[in-house]
Homo-oligomer: A and B are copies of this chain.
Amino acid sequence: MTKAIRAGIVGYGNLGRGVEKAIRQNPDFELRAIFSRRHPNEVAASQGVVHISEVEKYKGEIDVLILCGGSATDLPEQGPELAALFNTVDSFDTHAKIPAYFEEVNAAALQGGNVSVISTGWDPGLFSLNRLLAEAVLPEGKEYTFWGKGVSQGHSDAIRRVAGVKNGVQYTIPVEAAVERVRRGENPELTTREKHLRECYVVAEEGADRAQIERQIKEMPNYFADYDTIVHFISEEELKRDHSAMPHGGTVLRSGVTGENNKQIVEFGLKLDSNPEFTASVLVAYARAAHRLSQDGQKGAKTVFDIPFGLLSQFSPEELRQRLL
């Protein structure tokens, strides 16, 4: 038996709790500490929580830190800072800022002699891998990504900022007819509206003008104006009871041609009861790879594109070849 991989969790929200559960499913891992910015007494966890200011004391006692903060404000700061001290893995997902984030984390990780896997999870992450694979195999073709059915945090937040709205949840829903056209190899040109629907469950404040709320949501630029949007008004109790789960998923399709116009369709899909728990499970697999790459003497920032799948598995190369190839 080789030594367990000693992991630390940074940030104890939905994602951090998901990582804690995922570590329990991976016998080669050991959770050494949970770090939080909150006062340790305020955080209810299965084990002692450590204030983030203490993290440097754990150098040499933790093999890899799993960063569970958000991409808006937490990771841009914590990512480079912690990459200078530890091997790290994160789910940074602000697409346009990934190249700059990569450079910053890379510089810090090189300086600290660590490996940092950035922007993993499922999109970016597993979806990105499938885009790359399908494009490399089918250079002549067209790629489609459909998201959902699932809760979009960004769109739910946008609803909740509308005047008169007490609470709300937004589901992104792929248009099945469009997905089917792609699966049939039609290579359609699809507008934003033709690809996804948006369905909103809204709790209005007492006495609020519902027609006005509905109009404001449907006309909101960037978020809803380009989509067919359905708005339902429900009670706070109904929202809690029926819309507290965090399902998500989606489909990446590539429709390509080879030879004399032979159609070749590659599809990758996820159907997730819990988006944060699945993302957490991906983070743990890439934490294993980060630790192994570091043990192998590698340094710097990596993405899912740089990491062979063999390093994600708890099993040996011999066993994987024998059992899964």
Contacts and interface: CB of A to CB of B under 8 A. Distances in A.
Residue of A124, A259, A271 contacting most chain B CB atoms (<10 Å): A259
Interface residues of A, number: 67
B320 A305 contact: yes
Contacts of A135: 313, 324
Residue of A102, A138, A310 contacting most chain B CB atoms (<10 Å): A310
A20 B183 CA distance: 27
Interface string A250-282: 000000001100111111111111100110111
Given A139-B25, A309-B133, A264 B259 contact: no
Interface string A288-317: 100000000000000111111110111001
A133 B139 contact: no
Nearest to A134: B126
Nearest to A123: B325
Contact of A268 (B26, B119, B268): B268
A137 B320 contact: no
A66 to B, nearest CB: 14
A267 B126 CA distance: 11
B258 A22 contact: yes
Nearest to A253: B269
